[in-house]
């Protein structure tokens, strides 16, 4: 392939071409050694959804969320899987390919962005799980009601991408300099799952917790994913704050990455 076809060195076109190649490599490596391949993108969220649905509808008397609860649950659980798996991989983004990070002339941010892209592709591949349960719900007493709010899903994807890129540029270099942060990040992710409106909605939180939840950018992002099925999930305050927080994390990530890029290269 000629240089003209992929762009001159340092050009945005060359960057995007390299980003796609690295992301495609990640997906190929992950699924080429697996007998089930792509099905893992579907089975993982499917099993998680089934477990939470059983616990909160058959074992405990649930007072949160909307009906059909399985659709309410999956609309946030699928993007949570994208978020969780991306942040987990950020902790090893540079150490995993240390030699390439040191030797290539490609901007080092690509090692973060390729994780966001590859995990984002897996997220898109898992959406048939949501479609399946939306169809199944049509044969139940309370079917999922689709509305024009579905048009906000691309905005939710964009905001989540912005948030993840910002977090990646923040977490990846810090984990190289302070290796203990890798384990700390895993603990934070476990707590964040329950602190984010995955199994409940923001409006289900009592008192001041509802206001505090708005400053978790995932709250606004999940609301945008859900509003196409549950119109009551629209909350301009939560969504607006979520968007602002996402871009603030992006700005913080860019600032931190630029300050720590050289120390990271020395550490590697």
pLDDT at 201 over 50: yes
At residue 192, the pLDDT reads: 95
> In the predicted model, what is the mean pLDDT of residues 239-253?
97
Confidence at residue 66, expressed as pLDDT on a 0 to 100 scale: 85
Confidence category of residue 3, pLDDT binned at 50, 70, 90: very low
Contact assessment for residue 161 and residue 120, using Cβ atoms and an 8 Å cutoff: yes
Predicted confidence (pLDDT) at residue 4 exceeds the cutoff of 80: no
Average pLDDT for 250-264: 92
Q: Where do the H-state alpha helices sit in the chain?
A: 3-6, 12-32, 39-54, 69-90, 98-103, 110-137, 153-177, 181-195, 208-213, 217-226, 236-267
Report d(CA 245, CA 214) in Å as an integer: 9
pLDDT digits (tens, 9 = 90+) for 48-89: 878 877 887 777 777 777 888 889 999 999 999 999 999 999
- Long-range contact list for 44-51, CB < 8 A, 24+ apart? 44/81, 44/126, 45/74, 45/77, 45/78, 45/81, 45/126, 45/129, 46/129, 48/77, 48/81, 49/73, 49/74, 49/77, 49/129, 49/133
DSSP designation for 81:
H
Q: How many CB atoms lie within 10 A of CB 163?
A: 27
Neighbours of 184 (CB within 10 A): 13
Query: Alpha carbon of 122 to those of 78, 162, 191, 213: distances in Å?
Result: 10, 17, 23, 27
pLDDT of residue 151: 95
Nearest to 175 by CA among 102, 103, 112, 85: 112
Q: Tell me which residue of 186, 245, 209, 195 sits closest to 76, measured CA to CA.
A: 195
Tens-digit pLDDT profile for residues 21-37: 877 777 777 666 665 66
CA–CA gap between residue 26 and residue 31 (Å, rounded): 9
**Structure tokens, 4:** 């003209």
């Amino acid at each position: 392939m000629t240089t003209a076809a992929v762009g001159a060195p340092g050009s945005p076109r060359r960057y995007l071409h390299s980003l796609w190649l690295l992301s495609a490599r990640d997906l190929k490596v992950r699924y080429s050694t697996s007998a089930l391949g792509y099905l893992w993108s579907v089975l993982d969220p499917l099993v998680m959804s089934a477990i939470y649905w059983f616990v909160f509808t058959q074992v405990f008397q649930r007072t949160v969320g909307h009906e059909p609860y399985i659709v309410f649950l999956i609309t946030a659980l699928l993007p949570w899987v994208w978020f969780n798996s991306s942040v987990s991989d950020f902790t090893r983004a540079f150490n995993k390919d240390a030699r390439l990070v040191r030797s290539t002339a490609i901007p080092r941010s690509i090692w973060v962005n390729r994780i966001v892209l590859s995990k984002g592709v897996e997220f898109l591949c898992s959406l048939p799980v949501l479609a399946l349960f939306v169809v199944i719900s049509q044969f139940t007493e309370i079917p999922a009601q689709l509305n024009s709010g579905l048009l906000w899903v691309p905005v939710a994807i964009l905001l989540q991408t912005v948030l993840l890129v910002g977090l990646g540029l923040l977490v990846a270099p810090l984990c190289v300099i302070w290796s203990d942060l890798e384990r700390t990040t895993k603990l934070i992710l476990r707590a964040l799952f329950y602190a984010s409106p995955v199994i409940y909605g923001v409006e289900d939180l009592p008192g001041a917790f509802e206001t505090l939840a708005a400053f978790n950018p995932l709250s606004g992002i999940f609301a945008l994913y859900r509003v196409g099925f549950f119109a009551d999930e629209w909350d301009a305050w939560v969504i607006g704050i979520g968007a602002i927080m996402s871009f603030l994390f992006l700005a913080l990530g860019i600032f931190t990455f630029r300050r720590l890029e050289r120390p990271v290269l020395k550490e590697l």
